[in-house]
Structure 1
Amino acid sequence: MIGNPLQSDIRKHTVRSDAEKARICAANNADLYQAMFRAHGLPDQRTSAFWSSDAIAPPYYSNMTTLDPDATEEQLVEIGRLTDRLGRRPGLKDGFSRLDLVNKGFRLLFSASWIWAEPHGIAARAPEDWTRIRDAAALDRWEHSWKESGSQTDANVFTPALLSDPNIHIYGRLAGDGFDAGCIVNRSPEAVGISNIFSLTGTPQVFRDAISLANIAFSPDVPLVGYDSGAALNEMTKLGFRSVGKLRIWLSDDGS
């Protein structure tokens, strides 16, 4: 059955509050977390209030991310359960900056902004020299460059199982036998997320390229989302994104 073009147009131009947009950003990010953990063969669970996993998280990933700004009591119960299960306080992403955890054995790692760009409706042209990562060997070279750009782990973070997920695209900019820039794009029902943007050359063009790749990878008729802070947030703001909410990353205050 062919859909109604008018209904489709209405959906594309639905007026959402920033609070609704922040929820969509958080849900998209949780989808990426879920894909990452499952690619590692790790268990996870998801409710309307949070996504979580009581397995040891891959580097740079939390054991929990919140999905509802008003479900703090349920989230605190889950934090307690994860603490008991893991034998330590979990790293977690407070998607709406609603949890006050200073007196509960946590320290604030950083704050950031959820960012949102309205759909453009027209897919951008593919940026030059970028390619989608499609095999384990290329992914290994891509991760090597990602780590070179500032990662402080020797662990294997991105596994080949990600490459078979239809909702995840990993892109790299070719440079000799490897890559000098990259990003990840993930699709959710209501948005397309952009994450893990890096560049070894330090040029801001990588942000514009990542946006183009996101529009090409999936439908240009849905919003683009992500989260950033500092210089990266400034660059994405220049390119049409705006902040729709705040999030905070918490770690155990014992340094684990």
Structure 2
Amino acid sequence: MITDPRTTSYLTAAVRNNAQWCDAVCHAHHVAGAVGEGASQHVAGAVEEGVWASPRRTPPLYPDAVTLFPDVAPKDVVARIDVASPGASVKDSFATLDLSGDGFEVLFEAQWIHRAAGEQDAPGPRWEPLVGAAELPAWEAAWAGDTEGGEGGEGGEGGERIFLPRLLDDGAVFLARTEAGRITAGAVAYPAADVIGISNLFAADDDLDTAWRSCLAAAARLWPDVALVGYEHGDDLAAALRQGFAPVGPLRVWLRTDGNG
């Protein structure tokens, strides 16, 4: 089998960008990964060991571990996270792990995606970055009401905030469409690993194609020479592919419901 080196490079960038995003979310909640000090050093150290992991339970909807290479062994992942209570999750970035013997079940499968940098021919309604932390609660409320499942799913358990102001200091850009003073669509853009990771895209009217066009146009304005990556599944994946993204590799998210660690 001949592997396209470009696809391998895009996949590596997507995985590392996402691991750094997960690390940033955890650090915003004062949940530190297992290696190093600080977000960038955490991931740099974890790359050498093949996995980013947190020994403490991470914020809702975010994984306790992210594999960074396809040949990581299950024992090297499970040993680094809290499996004593229900709810541990692992992002199997290359869909190569079998964690069923450790009490995990596949929560969902998805595809990493990539899109080259470039201006959009037919942009949708204009999206703009949030200008400060004061707008984050309204953005998160709109996101929580208009998405389902996965990392881009409903809001935190018990109404817990997920997206905290520290993320803005860490480089995250929260894009939004505002109509009559109300946020009706948006996404997170996170610069890391020499790409822009797009996640948590939502649209109140469920018009995902228009939302992706608007998101791409905003990214082209803000980062005209930087490629975009992310992962999606289901209708979200289909819409992203229609707007010029290409799949570059599979992933799985595993969830552990057995708390008898």
TM-score over 0.5 (shorter chain) = yes
Going from structure 1 to structure 2, the CA distance change for 1:215 and 1:58 (only over 3 Å counts) comes to same
The amino acid that maps onto 2:225 is: D
Aligned to 2:78: 79
**Which residue identity lines up with residue 100 of structure 1 in the other structure?**
D
Q: Distance in 1 between matches of 2:6 and 2:254?
A: 26
Q: How does 1:1-256 map to 2 (within 5 A)?
A: 16-44=5-33, 45=35, 46=43, 47-48=46-47, 49-70=50-71, 72-73=72-73, 76-83=75-82, 87=85, 90-120=88-118, 122=119, 128-150=125-147, 151-153=154-156, 154-165=159-170, 167-203=171-207, 204-218=209-223, 220-254=224-258
Q: Which amino acid aligns with 2:243?
A: L
Give runs of ≥4 in structure 1 deviating > 6 Å.
123-126
- For the Cα contact (< 8 Å) 1:183–1:196, is it kept in 2? yes
- CA change 1:207–1:229 in 2 (3 A) is same
Q: Distance in 2 between matches of 1:130 and 1:250?
A: 33
Please state how far the C-alpha of 1:33 moved relative to its aligned partner. 0.9
The CA RMSD over aligned residues, in Å, is 2.3
Distance 1:32 1:125, change over 3 A: farther
Instruction: Give the CA deviation at 1:217.
Output: 2.4
Q: Name stretches of at least 5 consecutive residues in structure 2 with no aligned partner.
A: 36-42, 148-153
Give the aligned length. Answer: 236
Kept in 2, the 8 Å contact 1:37–1:57? The answer is: yes
Range moving further from structure 2, 192-201 or 40-49: 40-49
Residues 86 and 258 in structure 2, CA contact (< 8 A), matched pair in contact too? no
Letter in 2 for 1:244: V
Does structure 2 retain, via aligned residues, the 8 Å contact 1:89–1:105? no
Query: 2:257, 2:21 → 1: CA distance?
Result: 26
Determine if contact 1:194/1:226 at 8 Å carries over to the other structure. yes
Structure 1: distance between partners of 2:175 and 2:104: 35
Distance of 1:17 and 1:205 partners within structure 2: 28
Identity %: 30
Name structure 1 gaps, 5 residues minimum: 1-14
Q: Which has the larger radius of gyration?
A: 1
**TM-score, normalised with respect to structure 1:** 0.84
Contact 2:194 2:226 in 1 (8 A): yes
- Aligned with 1:82: secondary structure? coil
Of 58-67 and 87-96, deviating more is 87-96
Deviation at residue 188 of structure 1 after TM alignment: 1.6
Deviation per residue, 1:103-161 (Å, 9 max, x gap): 220010000000011222x5889864522113233111111111111315311011011
